[in-house]
Amino acid sequence: MPFTDHNGNELRRLPLLYRLGRDFQVAESFCWRDPRDNDRVLTIPAHNLALPPGKGNSTDFASVPPFLWGLIASFGKQTLPAILHDSLTQDARLAPADERLELRRTADEDFRVSLIDSGVHQLRARVMWASVGMERYARYAGALAIAVIAQLSIGVLAIIAAVVLGIIAHPLWLLLGVVPAIAALAWGKNMGLVLAASYLGALYAPLVAAAFIGSRLEQLLAISIWVGTGTPGPAPKAEPTLRWPDRGATLPPQ
């Protein structure tokens, strides 16, 4: 029973207010009990309905780019963990600048644990955890983000090259796939994140690329139809590849 209502009963429903677009707002508070420490209970507060959309405790569930919805759903078993994560990341955004990265690291780890506790299988939980972990670095780590993203990109390419060359050239090329694991050791306590992001990134890269290209081809076709039929209104747009909403927080530029 990882998620409960404010009275401690198993959570069987969660009222949400839809505010158009992709934003929902939590209408009733609920709690999450950390399975690693039963004394640690986090409360996700209800949204103040007097606030406009995008302010306060709002959520878009799992922030999966629309072109990937065929691979990872935006809602499902991951819905409550995603709302928990949105609330915790909002707290991190409002914290002093020097505390945000560590608060996000804790929030991301809580997200991973709550995903598994909610029945999401280990691989999918790792994929979602690695995604938010990379976003954490990109948002809060400054120059360090450039290093981790560069290493991740090179690692993914190395793993893909190892597989391709190992098949078409010589099996010894497969040893190239070990290099990202060795390089990940340099990241200390964040080694697991870099390791997971590298190998899972390589696993999903072909699927992500195909889905991304497909969404752009659909947009091109939609624009052609829009022009050909003279349909009023703005030109069709592809949904964003990444969406990191501010949730209404007023923060200095990152």
Average pLDDT of the residues in 212-227:
86
DSSP three-state, residue 27:
coil
Q: What does the angle CA 203 – CA 205 – CA 209 come to, to the nearest 5 degrees?
A: 150
- Please state the length of the chain: 254
pTM over 0.85: no
Structure confidence by residue, pLDDT tens digits, 133-189? 888 988 888 888 999 999 999 999 999 999 999 999 999 999 999 999 999 999 998
DSSP letter at 10 equals B
Structure tokens, 151? 């290493």
Q: Confirm if 85 and 110 have CB atoms less than 8 A apart.
A: yes
Cα–Cα distance between 153 and 188 in angstroms, integer?
A: 19
- Round the CA-based radius of gyration of the chain to a whole number and report it: 20
Q: Residue type at 113?
A: V
Q: Are 184 and 197 in contact (CB under 8 A)?
A: no
Measured in whole angstroms, how far is the alpha carbon of residue 8 from the centre of its chain? 28
What tens digit of pLDDT does each residue of 57-89 get? 667 666 665 555 566 666 788 889 988 988 898
Q: What confidence tens digit (pLDDT) does each residue in 7-58 have?
A: 888 888 888 777 766 678 888 889 999 998 888 999 888 876 555 555 556 6
Q: Which residue has the tokens 């069709």?
A: 236
Q: In 3-state terms, what secondary structure has residue 18?
A: strand
Say what percent of the chain tops pLDDT 70.
81
- Across the chain, what does the average pLDDT equal? 82
Choose between 20 and 233: higher pLDDT.
233
Helix locations, the chain, DSSP H: 79-94, 97-117, 122-140, 143-168, 179-184, 191-229
HSE value, Cβ hemisphere, 13 Å, CA-based, for 113? 14
Question: 10 Å Cβ neighbour count for 191?
Answer: 14
Q: Determine the Cα–Cα distance for residues 182 and 82; give it in Å rounded to an integer.
A: 32
Point out which residues pair with 43 in neighbouring strands.
Answer: 31
Cα–Cα distance, 91 to 192 (Å, whole number): 24
